[in-house]
Structure 1
């Protein structure tokens, strides 16, 4: 697993929150009709995986330096990143720490770890029950988290999808203000479910 994953996730959350604050004055309301009619681009990353993102989201490099994919629309306040880690490294590290549960799947362990990091990095107001599913032949888990941190007026909703590939585990993280959760939920769901390994 990448060195300092916990710290990097906390930093990512901090940067995510900052992004929401910085562009708060530039809000533009979006209707459900606009979302339903949006077009998507298929994005390929490092010849490793692809997923579909709304055409209104643009590539950026200021959300999380460890993410292999970073897209945003600051006016709609929609953000998506993908973080990938070696599956073997993840298992080895958390086994050594005594935090790996041999009785559940790799992806459930990965989801548990990431949810714990969220709980340590922000005040979690609401958390959905995890949903197990298959995304393009891979085991996956989905969970939504509503939460807040000091200094931010509005709650933020994170849509987290964890996918187990052959060699890596992936976290697809999309977020927006909780007030816009219903508007973008189906969009973020579509992004996550479009995830596919190329080889």
Structure 2
């Protein structure tokens, strides 16, 4: 059988249950058995994808916070500074808005390079305040991410590939959102799950019939058979 190709996988919308929230446990065994590197590339705060790798039982190869943090398993690279993003959060609150996550805000508590705002919050003033600080706002379908304009997931994937000796042309990526477009642009094959947004479906080589983890599991089975 042909060897498994290296993988680059998003989390939210890609490894999640059909209803869209929570990791689908069906992905654990295939990923643990995969005999090539698996890179987890997500908009989530740095600790979350590291924990996912730990619980699945795979090496911790992580692009977090939309490329703001890159972990090669040996070294951590921070490609942005949270100071400007925090200033946006403070100005947004001062204007009478909320980040939308409650007092403890575990969504942002451990972020290193950006902030995330709940989708129920007004985006127009958020974009305006972010622009005043030289930042951008991207809508991943799960949150509004206030981030530096430079880092992206694709750059982070390139860093990891260089460090661990992965040929990006051999890589298969699966994602669902605009923040996965930069990943799709650097890998050999890219797939958007059927619940993906328009930028992701336009950038992907193929749009899958299945949504969320159903689509991801289907393509993993396919590429495991064909390489």
TM category (shorter chain) comes to under 0.3
Normalised by the length of structure 2, the TM-score is 0.23
Normalised by the length of structure 1, the TM-score is 0.25
- Relative to total residues, which structure has the larger helix share, 1 or 2? 2
Which protein shows a greater Rg?
Answer: 2
- Relative to total residues, which structure has the larger strand share, 1 or 2? 1
